[in-house]
Amino acid sequence: MRNIENRKLQASRINQLAVIVILLFLVLIARLWYLQIALGSELLLQSEANRIKLLRLRAPRGTIYDRKGRILATSRPQFVVMAIPEKVKANKEAMETLCEVLNLAPSDLEAIINKERPRPGSPVRVKADANLETVARIGELRMKLPGVSVELDQLRYYPDGPAFAHVMGKLGEINKQQLDEAKRQKKHYRPGDYVGQSGIEKQYEDELHGIDGGKQIEVNAFGRVVRVLGEKPSVTGKALRLNIDRDLQVAAERAMGNQVGGVAAIDPQTGAVLALVSKPDYDPNVFVKKVSPADWLKISTHKGKPLQNRAVQNVYPPGSTFKPIMAIAGLKYKMCDVNTTVNCTGGFRFGRTFRDWRVHGRTDFMKAIAMSCDVWFYTLGHKLEIDRIASVATQFGLGHATGIDLPGEGRSDGTLGTMPSTAWKRKRYGERWWPGETISCAIGQGYIQASPLQMAVACAAVANGGKVMKPWILKEVLSPSGSKVLKSTEPQVVRIVDAPPEAFKLVQQAMRQTVTSGTGKAVDIPGIAVAGKTGSAENPGPAHGWFICFAPLENPKIAIACIVEHGRHGATSAAPVCRAILDVFFGKKKPEEIGSNKAHVSGD
């Protein structure tokens, strides 16, 4: 009986075990169905992704040339160390070895390999522009560095470095906001890409960027390339030819030396920008790869703010360089003529005494500009009143951004600097305009503020008889090889100054006299009829030195404006910079022969 019961118990247990086994098999079969049938396609792709990688071949940025075809920016080959984060992070020895080879702290390497990527399994840049020694060591230690490879890429290069800093601008790694905007516009950018962050590099990013290519490769378990399955070549970005003249740019940069300020040179007939320099400057080559903390600290904490484009973005009182505009306003409204004479005793009494920089005695129209007589212009300003002055000055472009093809010139409403009027003061301060304020404005002081580029545009308009030209840097968009013109930029007249042609002729002749026998003798070049105007702009501390000029007097081909912050006198700080540019422009000197100017002596 007991045996029968034991057999029944054993049979029951066997049946229970069989049920459990069957259930386990059913679960296993269901799991296999789920993985191979339901998720089969997806898992196959993931499996292939672990074996097959897509390496992007970054397109070289387009070359940038000056007006004569000389290279201002190009791309050169570089070795880039790449790493697949999943492979490296899973191997402690690989992390330690890579830190040692690249001289990186473990925290720095972790920060790099933890960056956002377009897809899991794709490599990240660990080090750009690796030297041959580093490349060789990685080759020697390849068995200890799974997932690490060296790729050939392109690195931006600026042959003249700081001389073109504020024209070229700087590159930088694309930020989240830029990346989101690129995705919205369906542009093919990825985390880690370098894009233009300022200057021409930013303004013409779409033309310069090019089209990336790629390689489809098969890798082994160590991340090593087994074979290339397919390749799509990259397409180099379009080339640009600028209006900038490399020789004039280098001459301006050298002439400015260590002085702080900006200089702009343009063609009065077309508005083409021939040179544009801001000091202090920086080397844009520093930004073409990850900026070291030491380099960034040096640039970002520099008291001169080298990233600021003083020639385009900064505004200053124009001082006596405003007087040619005042003279044209006086002639337009018939408040003066060539024979208008004032006895300058060194001051003008209007409530208080407005001082002149010297006693000029009997001063007529020509002498007033040539010798920069403040009293003559105080008298004219009192007659004209501020709204007439503002009417003419705004036609010359004061108060308005010039529209130059560089990012960040003016405010969002298109204004830059200040040209005051009664309506402006009422809107800005809720106060009336006082006649005494006009006296200061008559010599380019008070509320008036303008950038060096604005004054270059105004000077060009005086030179060409009243055409206010839009300044433009880009001359042509070229094919990547530079052999074909794809697009050209045409000169654009912004407005015509409403004043008699005779007014411009008289002011031109007076500015010529400034150079031959007045305060601008520093730019008196034998055989070249240069016309100019000096200026000293009062501000806290030593005055800023200004100079504007154009040449030749008949059919002018170049107009220049220069400011030297705290240069005291334009005749000795800014004028020599303009002289250097003119010397090179007219073939009197080579840019390498230009020395820096440091003289600060008396004079307007």
- Whether residue 590 is predicted with pLDDT greater than 90 in this model: the reply is yes
Closest CA to 263 of 586, 576, 556, 508: 576
pLDDT band per the 50, 70, 90 thresholds, residue 220: low
Strand ranges in 337-406 using DSSP code E only, listed in sequence order: 342-344, 347-350, 352-355, 361-363, 399-400
pLDDT band per the 50, 70, 90 thresholds, residue 224: low
Contact partners, residue 502, CB within 8 Å, separation at least 6: 331
- What percent of the chain is modeled with pLDDT above 90? 64
Helix, strand, coil share of the chain (percent; to 5): 40, 25, 35
Whole-number pLDDT of residue 600? 41
* Active site positions, annotated: 320
- Whether residue 305 is predicted with pLDDT greater than 60 in this model: the reply is yes
CA pair distance 195, 208, nearest whole angstrom? 9
Mean pLDDT, rounded, for 149-163:
89
Q: CA 295, 297, 298 angle in degrees (round to 5)? A: 65
Whole-number pLDDT of residue 602? 39
Whole-number pLDDT of residue 71? 98
- Whether residue 223 is predicted with pLDDT greater than 80 in this model: the reply is no
Mean pLDDT, rounded, for 312-334:
98
- Return the top range by mean pLDDT from 47-56, 108-117, 153-162, 465-474: 465-474
Closest CA to 89 of 139, 146, 47, 135: 146
pLDDT tens-digit readout, 566-580: 999 999 999 999 999
pTM (predicted TM-score) = 0.85
- Whether residue 235 is predicted with pLDDT greater than 80 in this model: the reply is yes
Write down all domains in the chain, each with its CATH number in brackets: 52-240 (3.90.1310.10), 246-284+310-593 (3.40.710.10)
**Higher-scoring residue by pLDDT: 501, 39:** 501
Query: What is the secondary structure of 233-254 as a DSSP string?
Result: --BPPPEEEES--HHHHHHHHH
pLDDT tens-digit readout, 1-32: 556 666 666 767 777 777 777 777 777 776 66
Mean pLDDT, rounded, for 478-502:
96
pLDDT tens-digit readout, 507-538: 999 999 999 999 999 999 999 999 999 999 99
Whole-number pLDDT of residue 407? 96
Whole-number pLDDT of residue 512? 98
Whole-number pLDDT of residue 124? 80
Whole-number pLDDT of residue 297? 85
Whole-number pLDDT of residue 462? 98
**Higher-scoring residue by pLDDT: 124, 156:** 156
Whole-number pLDDT of residue 191? 76
CA pair distance 206, 213, nearest whole angstrom? 16
Whole-number pLDDT of residue 273? 98
Whole-number pLDDT of residue 218? 66
Tokens representing 80?
């880039």
Mean pLDDT, rounded, for 405-413:
94
Mean pLDDT, rounded, for 300-324:
95
- What percent of the chain is modeled with pLDDT above 70? 88
Whole-number pLDDT of residue 17? 74
Whole-number pLDDT of residue 58? 79
In the predicted model, what is the mean pLDDT of the chain?
89
